[in-house]
Amino acid sequence: MGRRTFGREFKLEAYRPVKERGVSPAQASRDLDVRPNVLRTWIKVILADPQHAVPAGAG
């Protein structure tokens, strides 16, 4: 089984519960079946540049 890849929309949707409902990144990653460090990386990139947030790599 190779690496899974996730599109921009999936990454932004993955961040939405963390931002809007205060769900912890750890819980959100479990809900989405992605590694917590991957979701934290996506969140870091999104927060650094919300207008152009397209996290590269890490899934």
* pLDDT of the residue at 50: 73
Q: Is the confidence at residue 1, as pLDDT, over 90?
A: no
Q: Is 40 exposed, middle or buried (0-12, 13-18, 19+ CB in 10 A)?
A: middle
Condensed to tens digits (0 to 9), the pLDDT of residues 2-59 reads 888 999 899 999 999 999 999 999 999 999 999 999 999 999 999 998 776 665 555 5
